[in-house]
Structure 1
Amino acid sequence: MKSTFAVRTMRAGELELALEWARQEGWNPGIDDAPAFWEADPSGFLVAAIGEVPVGCISVVRYGERFAFIGLYMLHPEFRGKGYGKQLWNKGMALAGNRTVGLDGVVAQQEYYRKHGFETAYRTLRFGGSAQIPDVGDQAAQVTPVTHGKLEGLVRYDEGVFPGLRHSFIRAWCGSPERRKSFMVGGGSRIRGYGTIRRCFDGYKIGPLFANKPEVARALLARLAGEAKGAPIYLDVPADNLHAVTLAQEFGLSPVFETARMYRGQAPAIPLDRVFGVTTLELG
């Protein structure tokens, strides 16, 4: 009896497989991303399978009723070119419903996304390298670790920058110091910025890096980069934020990769001048 192709919600443990495929594709995810990713939307991760054999995946994380973000869209190389990708894509888009949908598309796939109604909002440049950390003077003392008692204020601050509600994700992402290190400037209703660094298969990624002013972002990046202890760091920067591009260059980082933030539907109003580093290319 021939096994049938189907797309279904991921089961526990299958997100780790998807992230392993992402590693094999050279996307360099964090070594412990799965638990926090899952918190973002447990029913937003789909797997394509032939019988019981997973062959592809896509994530369609829904942030409230107005915004969703697509990532982790891939088929195992052995199963490409057979029409499975189109079925997987259609299931994912159906899950998004009438929400505005965002994604970060690699250059080779941008025309494919345009054909499906996505339009480019801005370019994102991944800067990477071993950081040359400048002296930030008195600003260093203002950077403090994120603790559980500070998460509520952090969630509210994030609402003012990210285009959708992601309370559960932020609590998981920034509230697990054994997995990721998060730092902030200010507190309560006066937070002026925050950032997170995590270990990846190659070096470390910093994201998000949100800040009200370039000098706040600079102090945060100095503290975050110090956690890498000389290992390579990577930061995904909206190219339209010229202060962020300049900051990455000041730290000795160079462009290594490019994507485009694309939307289907009305693009959300994001204060890009406060986005010095995207959280992740998989979840927005």
Structure 2
Amino acid sequence: MEGGARSKDDRPSKRVDETENFNVRLVTSLSEMSLLFEWGVAEGFNLGVYDAESFFRQDATGFYLAELDGVPIGCLGAVKYGDDLAAINFYIIKPPFRGKGYGYRMWKEVIEKVSDRNLVLESVAAQRSNYEKWGFKRSSQTTQFRGVGRNDGNSVSYAGNHVKLISVDKVSFEDLCAFDRKVFGAPRPAFLKSWIRQPGMVGLVAVDSLINIDGNHQNSEHTIVGYGCIRLCYEGYQSATFSRRIGPIFAESSAVGSQLFTALVATVPPGIPFYIHVINANEKAMRIVREFGLDSQFQTTYMFTKFDRGVQQNMIYGLTNIEIGW
């Protein structure tokens, strides 16, 4: 199986020798989270350089290690949001231990712990049928696009003079969380606080310019109409350079989404790759990345177990991260 966005493990099997000292336990520290990310990068995931802490802040009891004789051999994430949602991710078994049933046993133990929740994940086409056997249903298709930073001034349409972009630290965090929850469909303040403060993160908020913003003070009529972020990410295993990943871009209109996208791309140095995941069903978002000339790389399928949660897909112009539930 491959899922929770591009993870690596063996296919379901029950061939684990019950006499072996096999154990599945919680990840208990950021240093252990870093191990999961090291494995993910080795598998080719271009993860955010500082994503581990943000993931851990969202759910400190959401990641698991599989151990054999006390040595970590695999991992799986089940990151919880609110009372009824969990995002499955980081399904990895180290190569020497694949095909022996360890992935199946780890998966079974972890999924049973969160089976009362609506489980969501991203799967490549080859693994969808495997997840369907566990009760997952197909929903939206998403595409990863790749571009390269340049200085030729290429851009897409803007929202107009009535919308201004300001730094994410200039708006009320409570207002930002409220806007994020409206689009994402679940609360994630701990994650968001860590996310926007990552080293090297550029976060921009689209606001109505008719609202007076003076220093750190905003009046009571302040309204957020969109926000977007771009961060450092790994470009291949042991690469000496970092690429960039855009996410999220949440916006009330395609014009605002375009303005945020253009501003974020403008921060990418010439020659440096950048990536964004877009929901195929959002035709306006797809048009923006195509107008900019980005190349499509691969597609995944968003899947769920209980219900297709209330995500405002028409407001998502770039996913936050496919590893953590959009």
TM-score category of the 2 structures, normalised to the smaller one? over 0.9
Select 1:145's aligned residue among 152, 167, 177: 167
Select 1:195's aligned residue among 211, 217, 228: 228
AA partner of residue 28 (structure 1): N
User: For residue 182 of structure 1, what is the aligned residue in structure 2?
Assistant: 203
Structure 2 residue runs without a partner (length 5+)? 1-18, 209-220, 236-242
Match status 1:221 vs 2:238: no
User: For residue 114 of structure 1, what is the aligned residue in structure 2?
Assistant: 132
* CA deviation string 1:250-272 (max 9, x = no partner): 11111101110000111112211
Percent identity over paired residues = 32
Q: C-alpha displacement at 1:86, in angstroms?
A: 1.0
Tell me, in whole angstroms, the C-alpha distance in 2 between the residues paired with 1:271 and 1:241: 10
User: For residue 83 of structure 1, what is the aligned residue in structure 2?
Assistant: 101
Structure 1 residue runs without a partner (length 5+)? none
Tell me, in whole angstroms, the C-alpha distance in 1 between the residues paired with 2:111 and 2:185: 19
Tell me, in whole angstroms, the C-alpha distance in 2 between the residues paired with 1:84 and 1:148: 48
Tell me, in whole angstroms, the C-alpha distance in 1 between the residues paired with 2:165 and 2:55: 26
3-state SS of paired residue (1:282): helix
* CA deviation string 1:163-218 (max 9, x = no partner): 22111001110134x24111110177511111111111121110111111001011
AA partner of residue 252 (structure 2): N
The two structures have a TM-score, normalised by structure 2, of: 0.82
AA partner of residue 205 (structure 2): M
3-state SS of paired residue (1:165): coil
* CA deviation string 1:129-178 (max 9, x = no partner): 215641656559711110075322110101101122111001110134x2
Number of residue pairs the alignment of both structures matches: 282
AA partner of residue 191 (structure 1): I
Match status 1:260 vs 2:278: no
3-state SS of paired residue (1:222): helix
Tell me, in whole angstroms, the C-alpha distance in 2 between the residues paired with 1:92 and 1:140: 48
AA partner of residue 134 (structure 1): S
Does the 8 Å CA contact 1:122/1:240 hold for their aligned counterparts?
Answer: yes
Tell me, in whole angstroms, the C-alpha distance in 2 between the residues paired with 1:140 and 1:94: 50
Select 1:170's aligned residue among 188, 192, 195: 192
Tell me, in whole angstroms, the C-alpha distance in 2 between the residues paired with 1:35 and 1:151: 19
Structure 1 pair 47/189, CA: closer, same or farther in 2 (3 Å)? Answer: farther
AA partner of residue 155 (structure 1): C
Match status 1:269 vs 2:310: yes
Q: How does 1:1-284 map to 2 (within 5 A)?
A: 4-12=21-29, 13-130=31-148, 133-134=154-155, 136=157, 138=160, 142-147=164-169, 149-176=171-198, 178-186=199-207, 190-202=223-235, 203-230=243-270, 231-284=272-325
Q: C-alpha displacement at 1:80, in angstroms?
A: 0.7
Q: C-alpha displacement at 1:32, in angstroms?
A: 1.4
AA partner of residue 311 (structure 2): I
Does the 8 Å CA contact 1:209/1:278 hold for their aligned counterparts?
Answer: yes
Tell me, in whole angstroms, the C-alpha distance in 1 between the residues paired with 2:224 and 2:257: 12
3-state SS of paired residue (1:129): strand
3-state SS of paired residue (2:23): strand
3-state SS of paired residue (1:192): strand
3-state SS of paired residue (1:199): strand
